[in-house]
Structure 1
Amino acid sequence: MKKKRILLKIGSNTLTKETDNISRGKIEDIADQIAKLQDTCEFIIVSSGAIAVAKQFVKLESKHEEVFVKQALASIGQPHLIRIYQEIFREYGLLTSQCLLSYSDFEKQESKSNIVNTINVLVQNNYIPIINENDTVATDEIKFGDNDRLGALTASLLGVDLFIIATNTNGIYTKESINNGTPETITEVDNFDELRKQVVDSKSSHGTGGMQSKIEAAAVARKSNIETWILNGLEDHFLVNAFENITAFTKIK
């Protein structure tokens, strides 16, 4: 049976569980779920968190613009982030690899072919690629997207079966319910234009994206006929619960 290929995008707020430190417990939760689903699913992960990891270790002083400090923090934090993934995933019998990409890689046909071929080899050999923006050379993600767009571009390039964005809400809420203080999840989306009208944008505390960037990412995936799920990565067993339909989240058809 052909496995379902899933691109899972995990934001900094999910990885830190909305604290100032990377949560090893959350990464254990993710590894445990992937191990349980590996007979039917194969995963590619786009993970934020390099800057959040670095902030645990260092405080950089600089006269340069803030973006360069963030790039330096990303450079320090990225190897630590991958080491944490490798250590924890290995305990669950899972193999991982690191891929650093930037938007320019999606603009050249040769680069795109190399990405596809490399990731296919990794997945075929039971390695889970863990992808992050190459923040040292690219500034857009630090300032705007929190890897949502990178996840969508990668999902589209690879032609995955499902694009999952793990965030800190139970999907997308109706604007009226947010205004009333009783958030209500939009469970299924067929009319994308109507969905845009519902979005109340806000930035997350560690990431730089908000719900608007997730909608834009879903739009990119939608052009490639890829379904997007937006779900609450802070909850334990969030992937398994979504597949079993026992938790509220948004499906964008």
Structure 2
Amino acid sequence: MKKKRILLKVGTNTLTRETNHISRGKIEDIGRQIESLKNEYEFIIVSSGAIAAARQFVKLEHNGEDINIKQALASIGQPHLMRIFQENFRELGLFTSQCLLSYSDFENPKSKSNIKNTIDVLVANNFIPIINENDTVATDEIKFGDNDKLAALTAALLEVDLLMIATNTDGVYTKKTLEGNMPETIKEVIDMNDLITEVGDNISSHGTGGMQSKIEAATIAKDAGIETWILNGLKDNFITDAMHGKSNFTKIK
């Protein structure tokens, strides 16, 4: 039986559990769920968190612009981030690989083909590709979108069955209930215009995205015929609970 393919996007807020440190417990939680689902699903992960990983170890002396500091931190933090994934996943019998991509790769047909072929080989051999933007040479994630757009473009390229975007809320809340401080999740969306009117422009506390960038990502996925789930990655078992209908999240059909 052909396995269903899921692309899971986890941002810095999820991986740090909204602290200043990468949470090994959260990465183990993700690995444990993937391990329990591996007979039916194959996973590709798009992960932020390199800069947060670096900040646990270093404080850079500098005279340069803020963007250059963040790129330097990303360069320092990316190996640490991958090591934490590798160590925690390996204990669960899962194997990981690193893929660093840039948005320009998606504008070049040959690069797109190479990305797809490489990731298909990795997945076929039971390796979980962990994708991040190549922040040392590209600044789009640092400046704009916490990898949400990168996740959607990758999901479309790899023709996944489902895009899961982990965030720090139980999906998208209706504007009315949010203003009343009694947030209520929009459980299912068919028309994206209905969703866009509900979304504010708040930015997440540790990441660089916000709900707006998640909606843009879901729009890219929808155009490619891919369903998107926006769910609360701070909660344990957030993947399996969503699959078994045990949690509130937004499903964009």
SS in 2 for 1:15: helix
RMSD: 0.5
- What residue in structure 1 maps to residue 251 of structure 2? 251
- What residue in structure 2 maps to residue 112 of structure 1? 112
SS in 1 for 2:155: helix
- What residue in structure 2 maps to residue 5 of structure 1? 5
Deviation at 1:183, TM superposition (A): 0.4
TM-score normalised over the length of structure 2: 0.99
In 2, Cα distance between the equivalents of 1:205 and 1:193?
A: 26
- What residue in structure 2 maps to residue 88 of structure 1? 88
- What residue in structure 2 maps to residue 14 of structure 1? 14
In 2, Cα distance between the equivalents of 1:141 and 1:81?
A: 16
- What residue in structure 1 maps to residue 71 of structure 2? 71
Deviation at 1:229, TM superposition (A): 0.2
In 1, Cα distance between the equivalents of 2:244 and 2:164?
A: 15
- What residue in structure 2 maps to residue 219 of structure 1? 219
In 1, Cα distance between the equivalents of 2:23 and 2:245?
A: 25
Task: List 4+ stretches of structure 1 deviating above 2 A.
Answer: none
In 2, Cα distance between the equivalents of 1:228 and 1:41?
A: 16
Q: Any gaps of 5 or more consecutive residues in structure 2?
A: none
Map 1:192-203 → 2, pairs under 5 A: 192-203=192-203
Percentage of identical aligned residues: 69
Q: Is 1:165 paired with 2:175? A: no
Letter in 1 for 2:204: S
- What residue in structure 2 maps to residue 147 of structure 1? 147
Deviation at 1:31, TM superposition (A): 0.4
SS in 2 for 1:235: coil
Number of equivalenced pairs: 253
Render the CA deviation track for 1:127-165: whole Å, top value 9, x for unaligned. Answer: 000000000111111011000000000000011000000
Render the CA deviation track for 1:19-46: whole Å, top value 9, x for unaligned. Answer: 0100000001000000000010000000
Letter in 2 for 1:83: R
- What residue in structure 2 maps to residue 35 of structure 1? 35
- What residue in structure 1 maps to residue 62 of structure 2? 62
SS in 2 for 1:198: coil
SS in 2 for 1:57: coil
- What residue in structure 2 maps to residue 23 of structure 1? 23
In 2, Cα distance between the equivalents of 1:140 and 1:184?
A: 32
In 1, Cα distance between the equivalents of 2:149 and 2:191?
A: 21
- What residue in structure 2 maps to residue 235 of structure 1? 235
In 2, Cα distance between the equivalents of 1:223 and 1:121?
A: 26
Deviation at 1:117, TM superposition (A): 0.2
Q: Is 1:184 paired with 2:171? A: no
TM-score normalised over the length of structure 1: 0.99
Render the CA deviation track for 1:166-200: whole Å, top value 9, x for unaligned. Answer: 00000000000000000000000011101100001
